[in-house]
């Protein structure tokens, strides 16, 4: 099941994100403190989602405009114990569908140049590199 992040998810998401810290160094969109995660629920112009399999949160994604950008940026992570079996692809596709529903025309993202797994995933779905900034690529997809 893919749905918006809810208050009842905060503790499980907190545990998941903190357990992925060692492998998830590429994913640093915000702090993983519990208070910060609770505050996300009040952000009206950013959108946060969870992927739930067998009643467990195994994926987390976001579309964020911060109220100032016309196009949202994507971020996402799959629990380290559940990678490599298609959930990252599924999380991204669901999130892009939501972006369409929200009437966005494009989605952007920034990815570290050595995050080969994520870059492969983004290219597979149709993201194109548009700019290199230091050791990161900006990529975009038209919806």
Ligand X SMILES: CC(C)(COP(=O)(O)OP(=O)(O)OC[C@H]1O[C@@H](n2cnc3c(N)ncnc32)[C@H](O)[C@@H]1OP(=O)(O)O)[C@@H](O)C(=O)NCCC(=O)NCCS
Residues that bind ligand X (CB under 6 A): 24, 26-27, 75-78, 83-89, 111, 115-118, 120-121, 124
**Least distance between ligand X and beta carbon 75 (Å):** 4
- Among residues 9 and 88, whose Cβ is nearest to ligand X? 88
Residue whose C-beta lies closest to ligand X = 88
Kind and range of the H or E element at 5?
Answer: none
Residues shown for the chain: 143
- Among residues 86 and 126, whose Cβ is nearest to ligand X? 86
- Contact indicator for 111, 118 with CB cutoff of 8 Å: yes
- Among residues 103 and 111, whose Cβ is nearest to ligand X? 111
Which residues, in sequence order, are CB contacts of 93 under 8 Å at separation 6+? 125
**Least distance between ligand X and beta carbon 123 (Å):** 7
Which residues, in sequence order, are CB contacts of 124 under 8 Å at separation 6+? 89
């Amino acid at each position: 099941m893919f749905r918006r992040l809810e208050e009842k998810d905060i503790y499980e998401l907190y545990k998941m994100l903190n357990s992925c810290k060692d492998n998830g160094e590429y994913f640093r969109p915000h702090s993983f403190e519990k208070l910060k995660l609770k505050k996300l629920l009040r952000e009206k112009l950013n959108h946060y989602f969870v992927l739930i399999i067998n009643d467990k949160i195994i994926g987390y994604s976001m579309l964020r405009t911060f109220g100032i950008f016309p196009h949202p940026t994507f971020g996402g992570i799959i629990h380290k114990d559940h990678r490599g079996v298609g959930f990252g692809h599924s999380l991204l596709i669901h999130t892009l569908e939501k972006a369409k529903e929200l009437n966005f025309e494009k989605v952007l993202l920034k990815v570290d140049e050595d995050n080969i797994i994520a870059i492969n995933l983004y290219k597979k779905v149709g993201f194109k590199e548009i700019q290199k900034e230091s050791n990161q690529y900006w990529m975009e997809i038209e919806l």
